[in-house]
A and B are shown apart, each in its own frame.
Chain A
């Protein structure tokens, strides 16, 4: 595997105000009858970006891709690709290829013919098509299946054919709708890295739809979290994880503990939130937190400490509870602690040493604590 290198690290056109977006959704709405699948959505995607759309089933991810590919017409709004309004361009003239969620393989053609179909439409000479098809088959590890028909393949193999077919033309923009969903874990991880390499090497723009947040985190430069036809947050994987802008995003990505309370004070760069009699949270201020009224504090399990001894400042970012459940995962252990208020808190601890003696056990009283920069304050 090639290193993902330094180009990637410095790649952040979205922070550069002079950079022009390559794909722009401008106030795009799509209605089916009186159902709104995509709701006044605006989104910029940059050239050579690996962009992931993440969201629950039915939130409009496929619809968004299908509008970009030209299979659905927006009810209102504009889609701009490379400075051109796409509304008058039929699908077969768009420099965009799509891998379909349903694969949409041509059942009467062999794997080879399926993969070469797009190249043939471009009038590429036969020997070049054969060469490119062989390359693609190798990429998806289906060399042995070149002359099979789609119905003679397994689900995962079909998915790989669909992937190869959409990649074969090496379009400027590749839309991938759940490209790896049917693959087993190992092949999935391998293919993830292959896709990243490919995207880098060819300088393509990828828009990937996925259900799998880990996959989105691994592959994408930026992630858009969608909900009910709207984009809730667009940011890099790290930002999405560490600084979710809403309860929805915090909840959707990874595990999270959320403490609800009221803002007591907000000064000196700190926000104090009263959560319960025995717990007040002091947190560093961040963009999305309110200055007064109801607020929520979200913190990831790995940033929550548990200990038998009382911390220095009990009551502030520290609270007593009882071990409710323990999940041993090998590399780490997850503790579920029940607080006096009835809320449960999830804390995970890396098993850095083979500490087999005297581990924290069920029903034991422990202190849960965290630092004031470990979580984020969110609107209610």
Chain B
């Protein structure tokens, strides 16, 4: 083996993730982007223009000329879309915060548990994935419905007389999201907390810092990378979440995933739903890119 083939190999290794991204992210992205600039049509596929090699150069340029921002303008004109975006972001934000609040103590407890039982605890966190996501969400219907397990239990022990209406409200959506996405919060938190040197807390205590204060001045700031990773891992998919609001939420639960589904399947309006998807992507990617850029700059200094 020579240096040359080594270098080639190194490049290949680096290239693999890029190739992956191009095939499975960039190409679909450009297809969606291009559909979002089209007009709906009763045809197959249900939009115009359709690019075809047989059109030649002239046809290509004609088709380009037909692309427009109409769908995006349409999105701004109908309050439904803006409300759906805002409501999605709000629901996602609140449920991510709830996930963090519940996930942090779990991850902390796991990281402080005796080394011998940590792998077991880790398994337990991942265990729900062994069952289909859909089935688990359906199970929540059985728990939360007016005559469901939760209400039966609460009535049996006499806390409530009339069943609580939880199913088909935003509360059910929060419960569903927190439950489903908890592992995505716990795992990155656990991995940063577990790596943390326990003697730092001892040192803080040694210097006169009581445990609770030591948590806020030492442990929490040092776990921020995990908090951010967990937050993004939960927040991003939740914004576009469809199944949970569809099954657990009510008619008043407005989320962009549902809107997109309606546009795409019920209205067969591919261009508008493509535009909805592109805006969603931008709403998520741009702030995160800015944030990461700032982080990288801060790290450099």
Which of A91, A96, A100, A102 has most B Cβ within 10 Å? A91
The answer to whether A92 and B208 have CB atoms under 8 Å apart is yes
The answer to whether A92 and B222 have CB atoms under 8 Å apart is no
The answer to whether A91 and B222 have CB atoms under 8 Å apart is no
The answer to whether A90 and B222 have CB atoms under 8 Å apart is no
User: For the complex, is A353 an interface residue (Cβ under 8 Å from B)?
Assistant: no
User: For the complex, is A18 an interface residue (Cβ under 8 Å from B)?
Assistant: no
The answer to whether B207 and A118 have CB atoms under 8 Å apart is yes
The answer to whether A69 and B206 have CB atoms under 8 Å apart is yes
Instruction: Provide the residues of chain A in CB contact with B197, threshold 8 Å.
Output: 102, 104
Q: Contact string, B194-212, partner A, CB cutoff 8 A, digits 1/0?
A: 0001011011111111110
Instruction: Provide the residues of chain A in CB contact with B202, threshold 8 Å.
Output: 69, 71, 91, 100, 104
User: For the complex, is A165 an interface residue (Cβ under 8 Å from B)?
Assistant: yes
The answer to whether A121 and B200 have CB atoms under 8 Å apart is no
Check A92/B203 contact, CB under 8 A, given A106-B218, A107-B222, A108-B221.
no
CB < 8 Å: which of A70, A92, A102, A169 contacts B210? Answer: A92
User: For the complex, is A296 an interface residue (Cβ under 8 Å from B)?
Assistant: no
Which residues from 171 to 212 on chain B have a C-beta closer than 8 Å to any C-beta of chain A? 197, 199-200, 202-211
The answer to whether B200 and A92 have CB atoms under 8 Å apart is no
A300 CB → nearest B CB, Å: 39
A-B contact count (CB 8 A): 60
Instruction: Provide the residues of chain B in CB contact with A102, threshold 8 Å.
Output: 197, 199
How far is B208's CA from A170's CA once the two chains are assembled, in angstroms? 13
The answer to whether B200 and A118 have CB atoms under 8 Å apart is no
A38 CB → nearest B CB, Å: 18
Which of B202, B207, B208, B222 has most A Cβ within 10 Å? B207
User: For the complex, is A122 an interface residue (Cβ under 8 Å from B)?
Assistant: yes
How far is B206's CA from A97's CA once the two chains are assembled, in angstroms? 6
Nearest-neighbor residue (CB-CB) of B202 within chain A: A71
Check A169/B208 contact, CB under 8 A, given A100-B199, A102-B199.
yes
The answer to whether A90 and B205 have CB atoms under 8 Å apart is yes
The answer to whether A92 and B205 have CB atoms under 8 Å apart is yes
A160 CB → nearest B CB, Å: 16
A210 CB → nearest B CB, Å: 19
User: For the complex, is A98 an interface residue (Cβ under 8 Å from B)?
Assistant: yes
User: For the complex, is A117 an interface residue (Cβ under 8 Å from B)?
Assistant: yes
Q: Contact string, B43-71, partner A, CB cutoff 8 A, digits 1/0?
A: 00000000000000000000000000000
Which residues from 84 to 130 on chain A have a C-beta closer than 8 Å to any C-beta of chain B? 90-93, 96-98, 100, 102, 104-108, 117-118, 121-122
B161 CB → nearest A CB, Å: 48
The answer to whether B221 and A118 have CB atoms under 8 Å apart is no
Nearest-neighbor residue (CB-CB) of B201 within chain A: A104
Nearest-neighbor residue (CB-CB) of B203 within chain A: A104
Nearest-neighbor residue (CB-CB) of A95 within chain B: B208
Instruction: Provide the residues of chain B in CB contact with A71, threshold 8 Å.
Output: 202, 205-206
The answer to whether A165 and B199 have CB atoms under 8 Å apart is no
A67 CB → nearest B CB, Å: 12
The answer to whether A106 and B200 have CB atoms under 8 Å apart is yes
The answer to whether B206 and A121 have CB atoms under 8 Å apart is no
Nearest-neighbor residue (CB-CB) of A123 within chain B: B208
Instruction: Provide the residues of chain A in CB contact with B204, threshold 8 Å.
Output: 106, 117
How far is B218's CA from A117's CA once the two chains are assembled, in angstroms? 11
The answer to whether B207 and A165 have CB atoms under 8 Å apart is yes
How far is B217's CA from A118's CA once the two chains are assembled, in angstroms? 12
How far is B199's CA from A93's CA once the two chains are assembled, in angstroms? 17
Check A121/B221 contact, CB under 8 A, given A102-B197, A102-B199, A104-B199.
no
Nearest-neighbor residue (CB-CB) of A91 within chain B: B205
How far is B200's CA from A61's CA once the two chains are assembled, in angstroms? 20
CB < 8 Å: which of B199, B209, B221 contacts A92? Answer: B209
Nearest-neighbor residue (CB-CB) of B221 within chain A: A108
Instruction: Provide the residues of chain A in CB contact with B205, threshold 8 Å.
Output: 70-71, 90-92
How far is B200's CA from A92's CA once the two chains are assembled, in angstroms? 13
CB < 8 Å: which of B203, B210, B218 contacts A100? Answer: B203
How far is B198's CA from A104's CA once the two chains are assembled, in angstroms? 9
CB < 8 Å: which of B206, B210, B211, B222 contacts A98? Answer: B206
How far is B208's CA from A106's CA once the two chains are assembled, in angstroms? 15
Q: Contact string, A130-174, partner B, CB cutoff 8 A, digits 1/0?
A: 000000000000000000000000000000000001100100000
CB < 8 Å: which of B199, B200, B207, B209 contacts A97? Answer: B207
Instruction: Provide the residues of chain A in CB contact with B218, threshold 8 Å.
Output: 106
How far is B224's CA from A231's CA once the two chains are assembled, in angstroms? 44
Instruction: Provide the residues of chain A in CB contact with B206, threshold 8 Å.
Output: 69-71, 91-92, 96-98, 118, 166
How far is B205's CA from A105's CA once the two chains are assembled, in angstroms? 13
The answer to whether A118 and B208 have CB atoms under 8 Å apart is yes
Nearest-neighbor residue (CB-CB) of A92 within chain B: B205
Q: Which residues of A contact B (CB under 8 A)?
A: 69-71, 90-93, 96-98, 100, 102, 104-108, 117-118, 121-122, 165-166, 169
Supply 6 A–B pairs (Cβ within 8 Å), ascending by A. Answer: A69-B206, A71-B206, A91-B206, A92-B205, A102-B197, A118-B208
List 6 other contacts, CB 8 Å, given A70-B206, A100-B202, A117-B204: A98-B206, A102-B197, A107-B222, A108-B222, A165-B207, A169-B208
In the complex, the 10 A-B pairs of residues with the closest C-beta atoms, listed nearest first: A118-B207, A121-B208, A104-B203, A104-B199, A91-B205, A92-B205, A121-B209, A71-B202, A98-B206, A108-B221
